[in-house]
Structure 1
Amino acid sequence: MRILLLSAYNTPSHDYWSKVLLDELSDCQFTYLKLPARYFSWRIRGNSLTWGTGKFEELEQEYDLILATSLVDITALRGFRPHLAKVPLIVYFHENQFAYPVSENQIDQVQSQLLSIYNAACGDRIVFNSEFNRKTFIDGASRLLKKLPDGVPNGLSKSIQSKTQVLPVPLRYEHIPPLALEKQKPLNLLWNHRWEYDKQPELLFLVLKKLKNQIPFNIAIVGQQFRQSPAVFDQIKSELSEHITAWGYQEAEDYQRLLNQSNVVLSTALHDFQGLAIQDAMSYGCIPICPNRVAYPEYIHPELLYEVNNKPSSELQLEYEADNMAQKLLSLHQRGFGDDNAQLKKISKNQLIPKYRMIFEQLTG
């Protein structure tokens, strides 16, 4: 089976997904084309021009199946490369532009939202990494289509919805351990996310200050950094330096060591379409403490989710969430925790790769 795999905005999580499929479906003949995850507004419209008119011998070949991420401008690419229009198409949504929280620097998102609708409309199968992702896309697309002035085909939303299914990014581990923490044990915390506004580092700062004089803890604050990161990271480093065991981007070997050393992984995120960073840590036995929103309730024990109010960001909202998150951590330290991690085991490669193979065979058979 010859499969063209396209990733137009190849973030680390997108690349993780691609490499798991390439490794685990080695009997398939993949051609993997990817573009760097930078210049978002240009990339999501320009990728079809880059691939469609550039010298890419791979795109002149014949394929049995196309597997494209939702940020590929696949409708335009098929116009540039007409022979690809006849090939069955799976569109994979790692995220959707309807569910991102509003940023003060955010530009108009309608064009990127429309792009995702076009891709979904022409896909033979539309796959999402979580039910949260699927639902927010369907709801958001339906709302946008109702606002358009004319020319929207009747039943388009229902047609798109009928082609959707949820199939998470497979975790690369064969064995997923249970979660266990003895009571009164010091907490070795891990916060392992992109250093951006949507991961809400301000909340992390508030929580750590509340814990500072109550329980013994250390924390590794790591993840992908950017030229401009929220200023609160400087405050965290200044005021909590005695608790910090690791800081910033980590090489793979160092990061794996941190996963082995940590016993609790934290999220303060406003959005997470699957939560690979959390799932990766859970695969090492870290107990997650996460907000009761986005994709987290799909695989995290309710006892480990802290309440949120889902209102626009404000000092009152942050204080409310910080109190709830701190209370979860205090309770975890006092009582300990144990769980078989059954929901996460459903996302292991052993469980999911056969389902990917089934979809591929259905569309090419």
Structure 2
Amino acid sequence: MSILLIEAFYGGSHKQLMDLLKGEVDGCVLYSLPAKKWHWRARTSALYFMQAVPPNDTYRVLFTSSVLNLAELVALRPDLAKLKKVLYFHENQLVYPVRKNQERDFQYGYNQILSCLVADIMVFNSAFNMESFLTSIGTFLKMIPDHRPRDLERLIRPKCRVIHFPVQFPDVSRFLPEHKRLLQQNRSYSLKSSEASFKSSDELQKSTTEPSHLPKLSLSEQDPIPQSTELISTSLREDTSENVNLVMSEPSSSTLRADSQRPLHIVWPHRWEHDKDPETFFKVLRKLKEMELPFSVSVLGEMFTDVPEIFSKAKAFLGSAVLHWGFLPSKDDYFQVLCQADVVISTAKHEFFGVAMLEAVHCGCYPLCPKSLVYPEIFPAEYLYSTPEQLSKRLQNFCKRPHLVRSHRFQGETVPYSWAALNSEFRSLLSAQPSEDL
């Protein structure tokens, strides 16, 4: 055992990352606390781990998330202070949204700044996360009434780097409907060659910034689809408010005709909390309902103690449009719903990465995300909207013409965010010997 993993909030993406590292990287031992009462984990988990983690001379690296106050832990446990200390930021508390600014607890952001000062390396899951944290340090510390520390961004920035969250994309082929299976087969060889090409961080950065190299079939290469091409061209001309780039692919005319009988299936796979802005999502759905447009919806994601009231109200007015409602503990059940869905929506006010959106895209969903936060870093512009009104117009069009999304091939990449692409960077990060790129 040479790598000590500590997770103060062992749930969601925090749990996914720790389980992945423990399972894939030799020499890891994990100590954790359940994903409950986040605020108390941030306040007191260092004291718990001081007692829970036994001394061990074989430890060389300490890897933890920014929920833990690392400064407190290494002060309480000087033996751990000697290790190579890696701090991973799934989110940052300097810009984490609160309903009112006076509700922001200074202590949580302050803990993260202290942790950065004692850590050897800080890793962020996105450039947006890193820059929003670093550039907010000065403003955040102005909350201190006097005798404020200075130049902390200058001290912290050189130790920071971005390594995207490594998603383990499962094989979902057995769950895919026919039209998605055909689209997936059309691009499968490209994905395999893409995974093989990720040998260095330079190649990874290039792949996340350059346009997709996936092949696009010309209309002459496809099965004849009576009236479909003309209808798509007409609908795109009608949808002048958005730059929608929809690419036809392999599904046959019989498949499309069968699919046209099903209403558009919308999925919202996020935590049931205010920062994911469920109010905007359900307001858009209410508009679709009032227009008597056909759609069905699955509202997934984890629920915690305080569920916003909007969820019970929304379930009532959505009525028979609801296909699935609530958290699905079985991963197979979860991915099966994503595979059956057509469009995945984010209305988040806060998102530093967005595993759920990438998982849904992997399952063949058409993503619609805010043109803000981390999303422009991950998704091409055609999948971004600027206002709830733009989101509503896109969904209105898709409800009327569901074949638009069912015949669409995603024009971005998911491979750069996979464990296959990122595992070498994490192995280097967890190496006891500092490498040149650190």
Q: TM-score, normalised by structure 2?
A: 0.73
- 1:42 shift after superposition: 2.3
CA drift at 1:238? 1.0
8 Å CA contact retained: 2:9, 2:35: yes
Task: Determine the structure 1 residue equivalent to 2:204.
Answer: none
Q: Secondary structure at the match of 2:28?
A: strand
Does the 8 Å CA contact 1:5/1:66 hold for their aligned counterparts?
A: yes
Partner of 1:150: 147
Structure 1 residue 146: Cα displacement: 5.2
Match of 1:203 among 280, 283, 300: 280
Verify: 1:89 aligned to 2:94, yes or no: no
**Residues of 1 paired with 2:353 and 2:171: CA distance?**
20
Equivalent in the alignment of 1:311? none
Aligned partners of 2:60 and 2:432 also within 8 Å: no
Equivalent position of 1:314 in the other structure: none
**Corresponding pairs, count:** 347
Q: How much has 1:222 moved relative to structure 2? A: 1.4
1:324 aligned to 2:320?
Answer: no
Secondary structure of the structure 2 residue equivalent to 1:343: coil
- Residue 21 of structure 2 contacts residue 28 of structure 2 at CA under 8 Å; is this kept in 1? no
Match status 1:230 vs 2:228 = no
Counterpart residue number, 2:238: none
Q: Report deviation, 1:100.
A: 1.5
Q: 3-state SS of the aligned residue for 1:31?
A: strand
- SS of structure 2 residue aligned to 1:228: coil
Shift of 1:207: 0.9
Instruction: Tell me the C-alpha RMSD between the 2 structures.
Output: 2.5
- CA drift of 1:354 comes to 1.1
Q: Kindly report which structure 2 residues correspond to 1:118-129, keeping only aligned pairs within 5 A, or say none.
A: 118-129=114-125
Q: 1:20 to 1:56 in 2, by over 3 A?
A: closer
What code does the residue aligned with 2:335 have?
Q
Q: Which whole-Å CA distance do the structure 1 matches of 2:323 and 2:96 have between them?
A: 31
Report if the CA contact (8 A) 1:289-1:329 is conserved: no
Task: Give structure 1 stretches of 5+ with no counterpart.
Answer: 309-320
Structure 2, unpaired ranges of 5+: 173-183, 188-245
For 1:239 and 1:105, the matched residues in 2 are separated by 32
The alpha carbon displacement at 1:44 in A equals 1.1
Q: Give the number of the structure whose alpha-carbon radius of gyration is greater.
A: 2
CA–CA distance in structure 1, aligned partners of residues 296 and 247 of structure 2: 18
Structure 1 SS opposite 2:136: helix
- The one-letter code sitting in structure 1 at the alignment partner of 2:418 is S
Say if 2:62 and 2:84, in contact at 8 Å, map to a contact too: yes
What residue is the counterpart of 1:12 in the other structure?
12
| Shift, 1:68, TM fit | 1.1
> Which of 219, 224, 247 pairs up with 2:297?
219
Q: Amino acid of the residue matched to residue 156 of structure 1? A: L
Query: Does residue 346 of the first structure (1) align with residue 397 of the second (2)?
Result: no
Counting aligned pairs with the same residue, the percent is 31
Q: 1:276 Cα shift?
A: 1.0
Question: What do residues 197-243 of structure 1 show as CA deviations (whole Å, max 9, x unaligned)?
Answer: 11111111111122223543211111111333111112211111111
How far the C-alpha of 1:180 sits from its partner, in A, is 7.1
Q: Does the 8 Å contact 1:68/1:92 carry over to 2? A: yes
The amino acid across from 1:188 in the alignment is H
TM-score, normalised to structure 1, is 0.87
Richer in strand (by share): 1
| 1:44 aligned residue (38, 42, 45) | 42
Contact 1:174 1:350 in 2 (8 A): no
